[in-house]
Structure formats: structure tokens, C-alpha cells
Structure 1
Amino acid sequence: MRAVRILPADQWHTAIHSVTLDYDRRYRRRLRFVTDQGTEILLDLPEAVHIRGGDALALEDGSYVEVRAADEALLEITAPTADALIRLAWHLGNRHLAVQFLPSCLRILEDHVIADMVRKLGGSAAQMTAPFDPEGGAYHSHG
């Protein structure tokens, strides 16, 4: 089976399969994987796109595979003030790290060196496990 396009979460209805992928495997152009139900699928897109949890892979036969974001080892970064959190976001961006922005915290893939930097800058970095869905950036498209 071949997946030929991505549909955002609000543009599809019923999936026949699902696949659980981590962040790195959700930014692809071409990828061979096995669905959670055991079916082999080839993702074959014209260009790499950021696939988000809840999106669907459209198969050539018109059916869909729901994409689920896998739990990953993350750091949840907080700060005592909004200004301090913005400053930390700048430092993370300056290191070209993928960052997920939430209302009162930032999340990045777990990295003990960055956790030490965050603490030295007055923030907190707590280890956690959750799906990771960072900002795609101005130059990355969404399916």
C-alpha cells in the first residue's frame, strides 16, 4: 500500500489503520513503515512535510491511516515570569532546537546539556514523557 498525500486532522473522517510515529519519523518524504495493525505502507510524497498527530495519510485506494504522535522523552521548560520564558525560548532557538510552545511552558527533546543551560538561566527543566509536536518553522510546510 502506498500513502500519497497528507490530510490535516480536520479534513478526514474514518481511518482503516493507524500508525504511531515519533517526531523524527513524522517529518518525511519517503518512509516504509508498519501500521499498528501490522500492514506495511510506503509513504511516498513529492516533498518532505511535517506530519502532526491527528493527521491522516491518504492511501492510493482512497482510504486513510491515522497518524498518532508517539510518546518521547522530553524536557518541559518553565520560568518564573513570561519574560524569562521568552528569553529561554530565544536561547533554544539560537541553538536551532525544535521547540513545542505551550501556554505556560516550552517542550524540547530531552537533552541534559540544555537542561543545565536552562537552570543556569533561571528556568526549570523537568523530564517527562509525552507526544512531541514542535513548531514547523517559517520554511516548513504542513501536509
Structure 2
Amino acid sequence: MKLEMNQDFTKLPRAGSFLRAAEATDGPSPFDVTMLAHDERHLRRKVLELAQGEKVLVDLPEPTALEDGDVLVLDDGRRAGIVAAKEEVYEILARDPLHLSELCWHIGNRHLAAQIETGRILILRDHVIKAMLEGLGASVKEIVAPFVPVRGAYSGHGHAHGHGHHHGDHEHGHGEPDKFGRMPGDPHYGHNHA
């Protein structure tokens, strides 16, 4: 979406909070939705265009990973739904459940976002990872589908690190590249394994 730089963003409806999908069942239904790719659902302050064309200023207190089914709560009480956009992903199939769990381990060991379902895994396309998975005996097929990866165990805060190792000093601000050039959302943001 292209924004006009002379637009007064203070005039846009503001969404200062959100509800997780499980909490959003009570109250009004969303008046509109926005379709966002996995990487676009990681946000704090951004103008989003809803499906019917209205623009909304998302102004959350901290960086947040929104999920399919979550709702933005506008200051005027209206709600806008979050829908996972279709993305180019790999569908990974295994020989059996044990093989599927082994493939999950290899994907997780590389800190890749993964949608894990009974009988298959979805990941964003990466030809190097595809070759690795095929080398491990997986069947890998290119598909286009909504991508809703599982949330990490430490995903409650947009800057959590749950790897169980030292992270050194944090000389970066939230929403800015760290001293290694990594952006928030990168599992190694703020630290190096060297």
C-alpha cells in the first residue's frame, strides 16, 4: 500500500490495542478485515489498509506478532479482523509421524517459522532448506496457502529470547537494527553465537 506523505495520520482511526482470537469471541464482530502475510503481522506502529479501503493507524504499546483471527480494537470501539494472507510456502510431507517429528526438529533447529499440522509442515520457501529436507527424505511441494506458524514458547513479548544462552549487552532500541544488522523478528536479534 502506498501512503501519501502529506496525509495527516492523526486523522486516521487508531487501533491502540488488540485481542487474541480466543478472547475476541465476546463483543462486536469485526466491521472489516485486513489480510497480512506472516512478516507483515509483526508490527507496533503502522498504517494498514482494510479490505474495504479504510485506513487505520495501528499504534500498539510494544511490538506484537498478530495472528490469524486476532482483532484490532479501534479507539471508537470498532474491531478489525486479522486474516492470514496466502503466501508461497513449501508443504512438507513425511513417511510417518516419527519422520515428521524429525523434520520438525531440523526446521526448529534453524529457527524457521513453521506451521505444524497433523501430517504436514508448512514453511516459507527457501531453496536451501528445500534441498536439506529432500535430503532427509521429505516430500516437498510448492503451494500457495495462508501461513500461520506456531508461536514460540517465548513469543509473548516482541523481543523475548528463549534460547538458554547468553545474549550479551543490548545496545539497540526496539524496532531498530541491532549491532549485527538484524531486525526485530529475527530469532537472533540482539545477540550473536560467536
TM-score bracket, normalised by the shorter chain, equals over 0.9
- Does residue 68 (structure 1) correspond to residue 83 (structure 2)? The answer is yes
- Does residue 19 (structure 1) correspond to residue 31 (structure 2)? The answer is no
Q: Taking structure 2 as the reference length, what is the TM-score of the superposition?
A: 0.70
Q: Taking structure 1 as the reference length, what is the TM-score of the superposition?
A: 0.93
Aligned amino acid, residue 135 of structure 2: K
TM-superposed CA distance for 1:8, in Å, is: 2.1
Aligned amino acid, residue 96 of structure 1: H
TM-superposed CA distance for 1:9, in Å, is: 2.3
Q: Which of the residues 115, 124, 127 maps onto 2:142?
A: 127
- Does residue 5 (structure 1) correspond to residue 17 (structure 2)? The answer is yes
Q: For 1:44-100, what per-residue CA distance to the aligned partner results, in whole angstroms no more than 9, with x for missing partners?
A: 111122211121100000100111110000001111011111111111111110011
Correspondence list, 1:107-118, <5 A: 107-118=122-133
Aligned amino acid, residue 127 of structure 1: E
Q: Which runs of 5+ in 1 are unaligned?
A: none
Q: Counting strand residues as a fraction of each chain, which structure ranks higher? A: 1
Deviates more, 1:1-10 or 1:95-104: 1-10
Of structures 1 and 2, the one with the larger relative CO (CA 8 A, separation 6+) is 1
Identical counterparts, % of pairs:
40
Correspondence list, 1:15-54, <5 A: 15-54=30-69
**SS of corresponding position for 1:91:** helix
Q: What is the distance in 2 between the residues matched to 1:102 and 1:111? A: 20
Aligned amino acid, residue 7 of structure 1: L
Structure whose alpha-carbon radius of gyration is higher: 2
Q: What is the distance in 1 between the residues matched to 2:46 and 2:14? A: 10
Aligned amino acid, residue 128 of structure 2: V
Aligned CA RMSD, in angstroms, stands at 1.3
Q: What is the distance in 2 between the residues matched to 1:69 and 1:21? A: 5
Match of 1:88 in 2: 103
Q: For 1:14-66, what per-residue CA distance to the aligned partner results, in whole angstroms no more than 9, with x for missing partners?
A: 12221111101112112211111111111111112221112110000010011
**SS of corresponding position for 1:45:** strand
* Runs of 4+, deviation exceeding 2 Å: none
